[in-house]
């Protein structure tokens, strides 16, 4: 295993550097979320924490609309046009303009959504949470990834998440401080966005240009396939949390979310590794490097899952307190996800997208989402929707997606299974 990472280090120091920065950024980002979850469950209680999580699952659909798949598409486009200044200005301008328009439209939709009975009680919360989308519009992580310099992004994420963590400890100290936390969360997201755009323009000589409508439409169309697939993938990501909140209890939302956060904490290295090597594999089409990364992801994923299973009781108590101990069985089952999520991350971008198989990448998302929806409909009409059936369905969706991506990686021969010498 060490030889794999030594090989990566000797072959490309940029990958190692970006992997380090991405890992730091993601560990701190998710680490703060996990710490906050443990704190908020204890201070606000599992029901109110479940409410925040449930409302956020709704907002994530609109945040995905604002993102519109640019975090993958734009990074690749920046890599391919790295030395073409005029083209870079055009790409950056188009993305900011399109994201800005999508944010305004999403904000209007959230306002209208608050008129429905299910959400009317929480309309003010939903609108406030939607303003966190300003951070999504402005923070150009796709640009930093494309130029293969993630140090600024890491530093910005570190400072803004630290602001959120310290602010929460100071101002959220009773069960009545729910609004205070939401305001802090939204403020930290906006701060992150403005910090990112400040650095982008100050140190990278980027100029926003007014583009004709037809040019914006072209960029919109090119990003559309990535958006459709990623939007549908939310059906069994944020969707699972939404349906638990809709058909079950808010306390169960907290239990599932805590278990899922712990599992995702364990697969951070794989997500970071695929983001770090993606620009290089896109440029070099290095199948040998991809093969080694896939083997590493699978082996380490199994080990992480096994350790999570063994210490599930301790982890649930650590990150959720006494109230979460009854959901240890949820974490045990979710630990099965570790190797499959690891493969999904690596095979998605580094195998399919990096080698130009966009249709196959999007098919894995769309097909899995359609199957998920069909099974969900069957469960609904047979009155079988409950806490555990939704969890089983979530795990099934992740496993199915990993297997589809593995199938296409082997079929398109981006991944060739041979013995590593």
Distances in Å between the Cα of 82 and the Cα atoms of 91, 147, 204 are 11, 7, 12
Asked whether the predicted pLDDT for residue 16 surpasses 80, the reply is: no
Half-sphere exposure for 416 (CA within 13 Å, toward CB): 8
Q: What confidence score (pLDDT) does residue 120 get? A: 86
pLDDT tier at 15, thresholds 50, 70, 90: low
pLDDT band, residue 12 (cuts 50/70/90)? low
- In terms of Cα–Cα distance, which of 361, 364, 368, 363 is closest to 395? 368
* pLDDT at 268 > cutoff 80: no
Residue 30's nearest CA partner among 254, 243, 272 is 272
Phi, psi of 114 (to 5 degrees): -65, -10
**Directed axis angle between helix 337-345 and helix 250-266, to 10°?**
60
Strands (E), 190-296: none
CA distance 142 to 45: 36
Q: In angstroms, how far is the first alpha carbon of the chain from the final one?
A: 12
Q: What is the model's pTM? A: 0.81
> How much is the pLDDT for 421?
40
Total residue length of the chain: 421
The SS3 of residue 321 is coil
How far apart, in whole angstroms, are the C-alpha atoms of residue 109 and residue 127?
10
Q: Give the pLDDT confidence of 202-234 residue by residue, as tens digits.
A: 888 888 888 888 888 888 888 787 787 677 777
pLDDT at 14: 65
Q: How far apart are CA 366 and CA 224, in angstroms?
A: 13
- How far, rounded to the nearest angstrom, does the alpha carbon of residue 380 sit from its chain's CA centroid? 28
Tell me how far the alpha carbon of residue 320 is from its chain's centroid. 22
Q: Which of 11-15, 99-103, 158-162, 391-395 has the lowest mean pLDDT?
A: 11-15
For the cut 80, the answer to whether the pLDDT of residue 355 exceeds it is yes
């Amino acid at each position: 295993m060490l030889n794999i990472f030594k090989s990566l280090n000797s072959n490309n120091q940029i990958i190692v550097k970006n992997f380090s920065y991405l890992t730091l950024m993601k560990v701190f980002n998710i680490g703060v979320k996990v710490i906050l979850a443990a704190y908020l469950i204890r201070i606000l209680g599992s029901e109110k924490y479940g409410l925040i999580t449930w409302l956020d699952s709704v907002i994530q659909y609109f945040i995905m609309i604002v993102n519109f798949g640019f975090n993958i598409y734009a990074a690749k486009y920046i890599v391919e046009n790295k030395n073409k200044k005029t083209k870079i200005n055009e790409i950056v301008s188009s993305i900011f303009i399109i994201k800005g328009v999508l944010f305004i439209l999403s904000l209007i939709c959230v306002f209208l959504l608050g008129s429905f009975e299910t959400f009317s009680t929480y309309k003010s919360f939903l609108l406030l949470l939607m303003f966190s989308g300003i951070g999504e519009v402005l923070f150009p992580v796709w640009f930093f990834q494309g130029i293969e310099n993630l140090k600024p992004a890491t530093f910005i994420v570190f400072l803004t998440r630290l602001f959120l963590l310290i602010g929460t400890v100071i101002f959220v100290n009773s069960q009545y401080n729910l609004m205070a936390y939401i305001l802090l969360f939204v403020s930290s997201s906006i701060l992150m966005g403005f910090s990112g755009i400040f650095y982008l323009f100050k140190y990278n000589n980027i100029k926003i240009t007014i583009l004709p409508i037809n040019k914006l439409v072209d960029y919109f169309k090119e990003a559309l396939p990535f958006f459709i697939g990623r939007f549908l993938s939310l059906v069994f990501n944020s969707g699972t949390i939404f349906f638990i909140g809709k058909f079950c209890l808010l306390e169960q939302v907290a239990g599932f979310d805590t278990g899922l956060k712990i599992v995702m904490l364990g697969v951070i290295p794989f997500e970071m590794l695929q983001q770090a090597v993606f620009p290089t594999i896109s440029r070099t089409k290095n199948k040998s490097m991809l093969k080694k990364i896939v083997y590493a992801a699978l082996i380490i994923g199994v080990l992480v899952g096994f350790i999570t299973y063994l210490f599930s009781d301790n982890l649930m108590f650590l990150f959720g307190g006494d109230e979460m101990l009854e959901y240890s069985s949820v974490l045990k089952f979710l630990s099965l996800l570790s190797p499959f999520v690891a493969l999904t991350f690596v095979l998605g971008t580094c195998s399919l997208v990096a080698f130009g198989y966009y249709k196959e990448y999007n098919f894995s998302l769309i097909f899995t989402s359609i199957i998920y929806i069909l099974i969900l409909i069957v469960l609904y009409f047979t009155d079988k929707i409950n806490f555990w059936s939704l969890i089983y369905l979530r795990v099934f969706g992740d496993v199915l997606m990993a297997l589809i991506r593995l199938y296409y990686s082997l079929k398109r021969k981006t991944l060739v299974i041979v013995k590593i010498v």
